[in-house]
Amino acid sequence: MKNLYNKVRAFLPEHLQILSSKIVFKLLNKPLYDRANYKPFEKGIVIISADFELAWAWRYSKRKVDYLELARRERENVPIILKKLNELEIPITWATVGHLFLNSCQKCNGRAHPELLRPNYFENHYWVYNSGDWFDVDPCGSYKAYPEFYAPDLIEIILNSKVKHEIACHSFSHLDYSNKNSYPELIENDLAACKDAAKKYGIELKSFVFPGNFAGNFDLLKKHGFQVVRYKSNEFKEIGYPEILDNGLIAIHDSLAFDQSEIGWDVNYLVWKMEKYIQKAINKRAICHFWFHPSIDKRLLDNLFFKIIEYISLERDKGNLEVLVMKDLDRL
C-alpha cells in the first residue's frame, strides 16, 4: 500500500506531492503517540542522538557505499554541527564508536587488535560479513594518517564545547549486538574495550545505541554500568515514554531520523513534518527522540537539521520544551 502510494505520488506536481503527503500524515494521525509506560513529564522533551562512527559503520554494508568518503564528510560536518549546537545551546548524545577514541593502533604479529574477540560470520538486514577478518579495514596507523578511522581531535572538540554534550557508546567496532549475531564473551570484551578507551578522556559511558539498531544483550549492558539504551522505533511508536526493562535499564525508542527517510522529498515538507513531532511531544508531555548520522548530506544539514534545532531552541526558550541527553533519563 505504501509503495503504491509512493508511486502515485511521484507523478504529481511538487505542490500536490506536498499537499498529499500532509493529508496522508494527518489521516494516519501521525506522529503516532504511544501511551505505554504513561508518565507525563513536566513538559515535552526532545532528545537528539548522533551515531558517530566515521568509516566503521558502512564497511560491511550491502549497499555499496564509499565508507571512506562518508567518513570524510562526517569529519567536515562535525565541527559545523557543534558550532550550531553551541549557538543554540542544544546538547546532544554522541553515540561514539570506541575505536574513534584512539590516537593510533598497531598490528601485533600481523593482526589488528589481537586483544579483541571477533564476531562469527553473519548476515543481517544491512550488512554481510562472510570473509576475511572483522578488522581487515583497520589501517593500524595514526589519526593524522588515517583520519577516517580515529577521531581523538573531534572528541576533544565535543568535550570542550560550551554546551555539555553526552559521549555515549556505539560499540567498539560497530558490532551487531543482537543475541543472534553475537555471543556473550564478544559483547563483554567489546564493552570493556569501549569503557577503557573512554576512560582515558575521563568519560564514563552511561548510554548505549545499538549499531544498525540490532538490539540484544541487555543484561550485559546493565552489568557493565549502562543505564539507558536507544531502541529502534516501530510504526506504532513514535512519541512516548521510556520503558524500564526487567533488569532496570531504561529503554527509549527513537522517533525519526533526520537523514534516513524520504531523501529526495521536499525539504520544506520534512521540516513541517518534524515540527509536528515536536508539537506532539509538547502536547503529550512525552519524548521525541530524533537521531542522525553526522555524515548527513549538506542539503539536509542546512535546510532540515539546522531548521529543526532552531525550532527546538525557540520552543525551549518559550518554556514549552526541555532538551535532554539520553543519560538524563536516569534522573527523571
Q: Is the dihedral of CA 111, 116, 120, 121 positive or negative?
A: negative
Smaller CB distance to Zn ion: residue 53 or 148? 53
Least Å distance, CB 231 to Zn ion, is 14
Smaller CB distance to Zn ion: residue 138 or 238? 138
Least Å distance, CB 59 to Zn ion, is 11
Least Å distance, CB 11 to Zn ion, is 35
Smaller CB distance to Zn ion: residue 31 or 211? 211
Least Å distance, CB 331 to Zn ion, is 26
Non-local (6+) Cβ contacts of 176 within 8 A are 119, 122, 124, 127, 182, 211, 212, 214
Smaller CB distance to Zn ion: residue 28 or 65? 65
Least Å distance, CB 95 to Zn ion, is 7
Q: d(Cα 322, Cα 154) in Å, to the nearest integer?
A: 26
Smaller CB distance to Zn ion: residue 158 or 321? 158
- Residue spans of alpha helices (H) in the chain: 2-10, 14-27, 67-88, 152-159, 184-199, 218-223, 267-284, 298-300, 306-317
Pairing of strands 250-253, 256-257: unpaired
Least Å distance, CB 318 to Zn ion, is 33
Q: d(Cα 163, Cα 82) in Å, to the nearest integer?
A: 9
Respond yes or no on whether the N-terminal peptide bond of residue 31 is cis (omega within 30° of 0): yes
Q: d(Cα 71, Cα 52) in Å, to the nearest integer?
A: 10
| Residues at the site binding Zn ion, with contacts judged by CB under 5 A | 51, 53, 57, 105, 138, 211
User: Which single residue brings its beta carbon nearest to Zn ion?
Assistant: 105
Q: Which residues of 254-292 are buried (b: 16+ CB within 10 A; e: fewer)?
A: bbbbbbeeeeeeeeebbbebbebbbbbbbebbbbbbbbb
Least Å distance, CB 226 to Zn ion, is 16
Smaller CB distance to Zn ion: residue 177 or 277? 177
Smaller CB distance to Zn ion: residue 251 or 257? 257
